[in-house]
Structure 1
Amino acid sequence: MQFSIVTVDRPDGLEIRLANRPAHLAYLEANAARIIAAGPHLSADGQTMIGSLLLIEAADRAEAERFVAEDPFSKAGLPASVVITPWRRVYPKG
């Protein structure tokens, strides 16, 4: 099953994000086989990271929730909110 994960960083989160980004990227790399796409949301300046979008494969919602909980960003308390939604890829076909 596929899931969309949208996180919004807490307002004072930029330093937390930057300090934990190498561990977060390593976590994504270690889970690359289940990731469809991933990347940061950006502020209006097009540079400052303010959240994340991940599209992942998971057996069920509980597994998607564990994926988020084990992310170094979550362990560091970065997200102000997390929305996990079942998702279906339509295009491009794959």
Structure 2
Amino acid sequence: MHFTVYCLDHEGMIDKRREHYEAHKAYLATSPIATVISGPLLGEDGETMIGSFFLYEGDDLDAVRLFNRDDPFNKAGIWRSVEIRPFLKRVDNR
């Protein structure tokens, strides 16, 4: 099964995001869940990072929630909201 994780930052988190980026990146490398796609969400200017998006493949929604809970960005209070949802992939044109 796939899971989407959609995280939006609090306002003014650019510097804090950069400060915690290496820890965030290292943490993602330890994921017990297969990461299909991940990266920053961007503002309408196409450049300003405003959040994070992940598409995971796994069997357990609770495992995704627990992994996200301990992400350094989450622990640092960068994200103002996090939505985690099961996702049914119907088309993949890669």
Percent identity (aligned):
35
Structure (1 or 2) with the greater helix fraction: 1
**Any stretches of 5+ residues in structure 2 without a counterpart?**
none
> Residues 45 and 32 of structure 1: is their aligned pair in 2 closer, same or farther, counting only changes over 3 Å?
farther
> How many pairs were matched up?
94
> Structure 1 residue 22: deviation in Å?
0.9
Partner of 2:27: 27
Distance, in Å, in 2 between the alignment partners of 1:91 and 1:25 is 28
> Residues 66 and 32 of structure 1: is their aligned pair in 2 closer, same or farther, counting only changes over 3 Å?
closer
**Any stretches of 5+ residues in structure 1 without a counterpart?**
none
Runs of 4+ in 1 over 6 A off after TM superposition: none
Tell me how large the CA RMSD over aligned residues is.
2.0
Distance, in Å, in 2 between the alignment partners of 1:61 and 1:29 is 19
Cα deviations by residue, 1:34-88 (Å, 9 ceiling, x for unpaired): 1010011111221111001100123322111111111110111111000111012
> Residues 31 and 81 of structure 1: is their aligned pair in 2 closer, same or farther, counting only changes over 3 Å?
same
Distance, in Å, in 2 between the alignment partners of 1:58 and 1:15 is 32
Secondary structure of 2:23's match?
helix
Partner of 1:52: 52
> Structure 1 residue 32: deviation in Å?
8.0
Partner of 2:66: 66
TM-score by length of 1: 0.87
> Residues 79 and 64 of structure 1: is their aligned pair in 2 closer, same or farther, counting only changes over 3 Å?
same
- Look up the equivalent residue of 1:35 and give its one-letter code: T
